[in-house]
């Protein structure tokens, strides 16, 4: 698949870190991504990170109103609620693999770098047998932001979203810190993300509309492949996609490189809400 973009050293450099940091709280995960921004500023080494969420967590886009979510109900169910340093809409992180990328923008627009990273994801996930494509259209987000049934990220698609037969598999968001970008996203493995409807501050009628939209608009790796999904295999496939598309040469790191609460090098700290 042609990206329309170069994958040589001018985009991201060849030496990359690949970090598998395991499952942690939402606060830890967001601060960890911010810590990687600080580390990149010091080292210039791009990062591909894989992680999970324990407990399950609802993350909101940096500009999203937390009143969209019934936080008390979520907390009663043991579901954490955090804000992301990136944009976009709400995601319930559960039965998924989450990735993040930290790299130089290399004078690319957000759309160009989003396209490049999405192509790496598609190239890798196709190795699992998933016939994926990138979305070539985008919803009218100015209109949709006024539609409460589109509070969840997976209710809509933008340009270059990773899709299977028109249904969204990966939801991603990006933010720039000067000439450094952070992009992270959710690769759906199972259907638990749809349970976000329970925590939306909507009428029963709008909840049902949202639930129907998620059923129609999202797809999971388990559904595509028709079998259980090996998370290690997904990580390996995605990493291979970054090798093929961006020319990444990875140094692999496992476990946590920072302990909970030790993020003094991060450019900012995010609170739970």
Q: Is the pLDDT of residue 211 over 50?
A: yes
% of residues, the chain, pLDDT over 90: 73
| 11 confidence band (pLDDT: 50, 70, 90) | low
Answer for the pair 120, 244: CB distance below 8 angstroms, yes or no.
yes
User: Can you list the positions of beta strands (E) in the chain?
Assistant: 15-24, 47-53, 57-60, 80-83, 91-93, 96-104, 133-134, 162-164, 167-177, 180-188, 249-254
Confidence at residue 148, expressed as pLDDT on a 0 to 100 scale: 54
- Paired residues of 98 in beta bridges: 51, 186
Confidence at residue 262, expressed as pLDDT on a 0 to 100 scale: 42
| 12 confidence band (pLDDT: 50, 70, 90) | low
Count how many Cα atoms sit within 13 Å of the Cα of residue 151 in the half-sphere of its side chain.
Answer: 29
Q: Which long-range contacts (CB under 8 A, 24 or more apart) does 202-207 make?
A: 202/148, 202/149, 202/151, 206/148, 206/149
**Range from 99-108, 186-195, 252-261 carrying the lowest mean pLDDT:** 252-261
Highest mean pLDDT out of 6-15, 131-140, 149-158, 170-179: 170-179
Report how far residue 216's alpha carbon sits from residue 3's, in angstroms, rounded to the nearest whole number: 28
What CATH number is given for 15-254 in this structure? Answer: 3.30.930.10
Q: Is the pLDDT of residue 136 over 90?
A: no
Q: Would you name the residues annotated as active-site residues?
A: 153
Confidence at residue 5, expressed as pLDDT on a 0 to 100 scale: 44
Residue, of 32 and 269, whose pLDDT is higher: 32
On average, the pLDDT of the chain sits at: 85
pTM attached to this predicted model: 0.86
Q: Is the pLDDT of residue 70 over 80?
A: yes
Confidence at residue 14, expressed as pLDDT on a 0 to 100 scale: 84
Confidence at residue 76, expressed as pLDDT on a 0 to 100 scale: 98
% of residues, the chain, pLDDT over 70: 80
Q: Is the pLDDT of residue 156 over 90?
A: no
Answer for the pair 186, 125: CB distance below 8 angstroms, yes or no.
no
Task: Calculate mean pLDDT across residues 167-189.
Answer: 95
Q: Is the pLDDT of residue 200 over 60?
A: yes
Q: Is the pLDDT of residue 241 over 90?
A: yes
3-state secondary structure of 90: strand
Task: Calculate mean pLDDT across residues 71-94.
Answer: 95
Confidence at residue 268, expressed as pLDDT on a 0 to 100 scale: 37
Confidence at residue 96, expressed as pLDDT on a 0 to 100 scale: 98
Angle, in degrees to the nearest 10, between helices 231-246 and 110-125? 130
The model's pLDDT over 20-46, given as tens digits with 9 standing for 90+, comes to: 999 999 999 999 999 999 999 999 999
Confidence at residue 126, expressed as pLDDT on a 0 to 100 scale: 97
| 150 confidence band (pLDDT: 50, 70, 90) | low
């Amino acid at each position: 698949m042609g990206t329309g973009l170069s994958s040589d050293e001018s985009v991201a450099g060849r030496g990359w870190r690949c970090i598998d940091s395991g499952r942690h709280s939402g606060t830890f995960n967001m601060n960890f991504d911010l810590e990687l921004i600080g580390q990149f500023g010091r080292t210039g080494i791009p990062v591909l990170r894989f992680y999970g969420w324990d407990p399950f967590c609802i993350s909101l886009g940096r500009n999203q109103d937390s009143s969209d979510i019934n936080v008390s109900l979520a907390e009663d169910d043991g579901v954490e609620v955090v804000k992301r340093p990136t944009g976009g809409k709400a995601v319930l992180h559960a039965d998924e693999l989450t990735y993040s990328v930290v790299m130089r923008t290399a004078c690319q627009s957000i759309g160009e770098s989003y396209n490049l990273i999405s192509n790496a994801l598609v190239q890798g996930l196709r190795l699992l047998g998933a016939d994926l494509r990138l979305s070539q259209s985008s919803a009218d987000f100015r209109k949709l932001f006024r539609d409460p049934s589109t509070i969840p990220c997976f209710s809509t698609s933008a340009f270059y979203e990773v899709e299977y037969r028109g249904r969204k598999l990966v939801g991603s968001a990006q933010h720039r810190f000067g000439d450094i970008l952070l992009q992270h996203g959710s690769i759906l493995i199972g259907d638990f993300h749809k349970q976000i409807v329970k925590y939306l501050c909507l009428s029963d009628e709008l909840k049902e509309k949202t639930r129907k939209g998620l059923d129609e608009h999202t797809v999971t790796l388990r559904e595509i492949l028709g079998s259980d999904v090996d998370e290690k295999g997904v990580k390996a496939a995605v990493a291979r996609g970054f090798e093929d598309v961006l020319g990444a040469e990875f140094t692999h790191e496992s476990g946590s490189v920072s302990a909970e609460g030790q993020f003094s090098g991060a450019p900012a700290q995010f609170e739970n809400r």
